[in-house]
Every structure is written in structure tokens, then in C-alpha cells.
């Protein structure tokens, strides 16, 4: 459930009519709802009531806006970060260092050092090589890094191939059959406190079964590790729970996920950790845009050209993803249209042959479920700027990220004198 609903025929974000935001901030603009973020954070936490003392780290990559992170920090969430930039953001937003988990296959020397210096809670080590590098840095600085070893369980998450991470051929983690040996070797390092295992098999999972299979393998690994004398006190089960992108679509609920987790992990005697992203932020945001014009080419449906484009919301172009598209002031009339942005490539298509509210030039419309992997994946392709972001809270709203004009991006460019 989200707080983007029609009231008196006008789509609102909580108590704020979207035309007001369009008028004051311009379009395209991302709009987030604080109440929805908080609701999702609560629902996810409540779903884990069958688990003792879960640690929940919001996947910052899904929505790194500082205000969004602050909302979640206030809810007691930690952060799952994958870069020095995300770590800096999480800290700036008020997340406690000890509640931060650092994931990612390519942490640089500087990033490992940054994590150590900030005193983060856990590094999720993705290779033996990374483990030794971190151990050396830690030892040199007289520190000990708390670590989990990320394993690749070779499970097909049955999601889009580009966001599937737990198959043998994917770059993530260490192969399950080598994990126990690698863990034991890394546990010998003075600079490392090997305390757990981590797994994350993919994103937008529409089915709990692959997760259950992966968690089962992690449970067996924990038993094996303990059997060989290793200490395991933590298990990080990653993120991945999918969200409905189409009205009426049914996906496993957080409650069902929580029940499965409680059942599968019973008797593990570890602190469980979670890294949800999309399930918290996805339906807490929309991308508000304005129709530039409608045009026809060929005999098919009209092309509705909106002022948002693939650079603002990359998911449809990148994954063929579906985002519901609704008028802000629906007339009740419907149409079939191709929904496209202004960018000069055919890939800049949000939807083909979409049945949607009838729209004409100047109308406002929203792409729903854009709160996760939306603004954060933006680029400035076609010398378009970066979209503004707004956070709504009841009847008030604030710009939480300024629109960055193409000219501001150009300000960072230079023509060298020798080209004069």
C-alpha cells in the first residue's frame, strides 16, 4: 500500500496534490512519500518478528537520497553500502557506523580503509583476495575488521538476468564448495574477525523458493564451518524481495518472507541480517512528468512523448521493466499509446501499446514504483540535467535534491588551451 492516491479526481502524494509540486518544482521530478517509506520499513521489520534481534540494513543503492536515508535512520535502520560514496551518505544521513554493512565485489584499497576508519559494523568479503587485502590494511592500522564471507550458492533467482547474482557464473561471492576452506583460512588472519556468512541471489524476486533454497545452503555451510571449528555468529541474508509493479500483481508479502526465514533459519544461533532495498523504497516514489506532445507515425497507436526519459528512469530501457503509467487528473477516458521520452534512440521507450488514461499535450502523468533504482540510476545523456527529488510528509513537501541543469554539468568540463 502506498500514499499516492486520487482525491477529488487529482492524484496526491499523501496530502499534497501533484500539480502543486509540478508547478513549484517543475517536471520531471521524483516524488517520495515519507509515510509510505515508514510504513514499508515497519511492515518489513514486523515481518521479522519471528526472528530474534534482526539487523536491517537498507540497501542504499536503491535510493541514496539523504532525506530518504534519514527517514530510515530514524526508523532504526542501518545501511548496506557498496561504495565509499554510499558509505559517506549513510553516515551523513545519520546511520550509525556499527549498523553499516559494506558489500560489493570491487571495494578498492581506499574504500576498505575508509570502512575501517569509520568503524563500520561489517564487511561482506566477496573473495579470498579481498579478505587478504583487508586483513593487511587492518593489521597496518592496528584494527580488526568484522567480516562475513559472501557465498555464491549457485541458485537461479528466476528474475531478470541482469539483476540475478547468485548463479555460479555471476561475479558475486565465493563458490559454495570452496567457502568453508576460504573462511577457515581468512579466520587465521589477525586483521579479520570472521564472524559470519552472507548471501544475496538477486533482486525483484517474485518467488520465495530460490531464496529458501539459498538459505538452506547457507544453513548447511554454517553447520560445516562450526564442525571444522570456525566461529559463526552472523548470517546476512541480503535483499531481493520483489514488489508489485502492476496494479493487482501478487507477490510474496514481507510476512510470507519473514515466516519462511524464521522457519529455515531455526536453530542457526546467529544474528540474522537483511539488506532490503526495493521492498522499502520502490512503491514509496513516483516519477512525475508532463506530456510534451502526442504524435503519430505509421498506422499504430500515437506516441505520447513525455518530458521524462531513459536518462531519468532507466529501468524500462535497461530491463524492459514495466512501470504503471497514470494521469494525474484522469478524465475517465482511456487510450492505447506508446509512451516515450525525448531522447534520440528507440530504446527511450517506457511502454509500447500501453492501455492508459487518455492524455494530451500539457497533461501530467506519473510512472509508479519509481522510488527504488529510479533517480539513482539517472544519467545526463543527451545533455539533459539530473531530475529534482521531492519528499512529501503529510501536507508539506521539500525539494530534497535540486535539479542539476545541463549547464552545471558542463561547468565541470574544460576545453584545453592547446585546442584553442
Active site residues: 344
CB of 374 to ligand LLP, least distance (A): 8
Any known ligand binding at 257? no
Helix 109-118 and helix 84-92, axial crossing angle in degrees, nearest 10? 20
Rounded CA-CA distance 182/200 in Å is: 18
Q: Which member of 36, 62, 63, 65 binds ligand LLP (CB under 6 A)?
A: 62
- Using the rule CB under 6 A, is 80 a contact of ligand LLP? yes
Q: Which member of 63, 83, 122, 204 binds ligand LLP (CB under 6 A)?
A: 204
Any known ligand binding at 320? no
* Residue entry with cell 584545453: 416
Q: Which one, of 312, 311, 256, lies nearest residue 279 by Cα?
A: 256
Q: Which member of 200, 217, 323, 338 binds ligand LLP (CB under 6 A)?
A: 200
- Using the rule CB under 6 A, is 63 a contact of ligand LLP? no
Rounded CA-CA distance 122/96 in Å is: 12
CB of 201 to ligand LLP, least distance (A): 10
Nearer to ligand LLP, 114 or 376 (CB): 376
Any known ligand binding at 278? yes
Q: Which member of 11, 22, 59, 388 binds ligand LLP (CB under 6 A)?
A: 59
CB of 284 to ligand LLP, least distance (A): 12
- Using the rule CB under 6 A, is 277 a contact of ligand LLP? yes
CB of 119 to ligand LLP, least distance (A): 21
- Using the rule CB under 6 A, is 275 a contact of ligand LLP? yes
**How many residues interact with ligand LLP (rule CB under 6 A)?**
23
Any known ligand binding at 275? yes
| Cβ 387 vs Cβ 400: under 8 Å | no
- Using the rule CB under 6 A, is 45 a contact of ligand LLP? no
| Cβ 86 vs Cβ 118: under 8 Å | no
| Segment contacting ligand LLP by CB under 6 A, of 236-244, 252-260, 349-357, 362-370 | 236-244
Task: Report the site for ligand LLP in 84-123 (rule: CB under 6 A).
Answer: 103
Rounded CA-CA distance 224/227 in Å is: 5
Q: Label the pairing between strands 29-33 and 10-13.
A: unpaired
Q: Which member of 28, 240, 258, 316 binds ligand LLP (CB under 6 A)?
A: 240
Any known ligand binding at 256? no
Read off the C-alpha cell for 301: 497507436
- Using the rule CB under 6 A, is 283 a contact of ligand LLP? no
CA distances from 217 to 152, 163, 172, 176, 357 (A): 10, 21, 16, 8, 47
- 389-71-313-403 Cα dihedral, nearest 10 degrees: 20
Q: Which member of 373, 378, 387, 397 binds ligand LLP (CB under 6 A)?
A: 373
- Using the rule CB under 6 A, is 203 a contact of ligand LLP? yes
| Segment contacting ligand LLP by CB under 6 A, of 58-66, 284-292, 349-357, 400-408 | 58-66
Any known ligand binding at 330? no
| Segment contacting ligand LLP by CB under 6 A, of 46-54, 198-206, 285-293, 323-331 | 198-206
Q: Which member of 163, 255, 329, 399 binds ligand LLP (CB under 6 A)?
A: 163
Q: Which member of 3, 40, 315, 384 binds ligand LLP (CB under 6 A)?
A: 315
Q: Within 10 A of 217 (CB to CB), how many other CB atoms are there?
A: 20
Any known ligand binding at 111? no
Task: Report the binding-site residues for pyridoxal 5'-phosphate.
Answer: 240, 275-278, 373
- Binding interface with ligand LLP (CB under 6 A): 59, 61-62, 80, 103, 163, 165, 200, 203-204, 238-241, 275-279, 315, 319, 372-373
Task: Report the binding-site residues.
Answer: 240, 275-278, 315, 319, 345, 373
Amino acid at each position: 500500500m502506498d500514499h499516492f492516491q486520487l482525491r477529488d479526481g487529482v492524484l496526491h502524494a499523501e496530502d499534497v496534490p501533484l500539480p502543486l509540486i509540478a508547478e513549484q518544482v517543475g517536471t520531471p521530478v521524483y516524488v517520495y512519500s515519507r509515510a509510505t517509506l515508514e510504513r514499508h520499513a515497519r511492515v518489513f521489520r514486523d515481518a521479522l518478528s519471528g526472528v530474534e534481534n534482526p539487523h536491517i540494513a537498507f540497501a542504499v543503492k536503491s535510493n541514496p537520497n539523504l532525506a530518504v536515508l534519514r527517514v530510515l535512520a530514524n526508523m532504526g535502520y542501518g545501511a548496506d553500502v557498496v561504495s565509499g560514496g554510499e558509505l559517506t551518505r549513510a553516515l551523513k544521513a545519520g546511520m550509525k557506523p556499527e549498523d553499516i554493512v559494506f558489500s560489493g565485489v570491487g571495494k578498492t584499497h581506499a574504500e576498505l580503509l575508509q570502512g575501517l576508519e569509520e568503524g563500520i559494523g561489517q564487511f561482506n568479503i566477496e573473495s579470498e583476495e579481498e579478505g587478504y587485502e583487508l586483513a593487511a590494511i587492518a593489521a597496518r592500522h592496528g584494527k580488526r575488521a568484522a567480516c562475513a564471507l559472501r557465498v555464491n550458492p549457485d541458485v537461479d533467482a528466476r528474475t531478470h538476468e541482469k539483476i540475478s547474482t547468485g548463479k555460479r557464473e555471476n561475479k558475486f561471492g565465493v563458490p559454495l564448495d570452496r567457502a568453508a576452506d576460504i573462511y577457515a583460512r581468512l579466520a587465521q588472519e589477525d586483521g579479520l574477525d570472521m564472524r559470519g556468512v552472507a548471501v544475496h541471489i538477486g533482486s525483484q524476486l517474485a518467488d520465495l523458493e530460490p531464496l529458501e533454497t539459498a538459505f538452506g545452503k547457507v544453513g548447511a555451510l554454517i553447520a560445516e564451518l562450526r564442525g571444522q571449528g570456525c566461529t559463526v555468529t552472523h548470517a546476512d541474508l541480503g535483499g531481493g524481495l520483489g514488489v508489485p509493479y502492476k496494479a493487482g500483481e501478487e507477490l510474496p508479502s514481507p510476512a510470507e518472507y519473514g515466516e519462511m526465514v524464521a522457519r529455515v533459519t531455526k536453530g542457526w544461533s546467529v544474528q540474522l541480517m537483511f539488506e532490503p532495498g526495493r521492498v522499502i523504497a520502490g512503491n514509496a516514489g513516483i516519477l512525475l512528468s508532463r506530456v510534451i506532445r502526442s504524435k503519430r507515425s505509421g498506422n499504430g497507436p500515437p506516441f505520447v512523448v513525455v518530458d521524462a526519459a531513459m536518462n531519468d528512469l532507466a529501468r524500462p530501457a535497461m530491463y524492459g521493466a514495466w512501470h504503471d503509467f497514470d494521469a494525474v487528473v484522469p478524465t475517465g477516458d482511456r487510450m492505447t499509446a506508446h509512451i516515450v521520452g525525448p531522447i534520440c534512440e528507440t530504446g527511450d521507450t517506457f511502454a509500447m501499446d500501453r492501455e492508459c488514461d487518455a492524455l494530451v499535450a500539457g497533461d501530467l502523468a506519473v510512472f509508479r514504483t519509481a522510488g527504488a533504482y529510479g533517480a539513482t540510476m539517472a544519467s545526463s545523456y543527451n545533455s539533459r540535467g539530473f531530475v529534482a527529488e521531492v519528499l512529501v510528509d503529510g501536507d508539506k513537501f521539500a525539494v530534497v535534491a535540486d535539479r542539476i541543469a545541463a549547464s552545471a554539468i558542463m561547468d565541470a568540463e574544460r576545453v584545453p588551451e592547446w585546442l584553442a
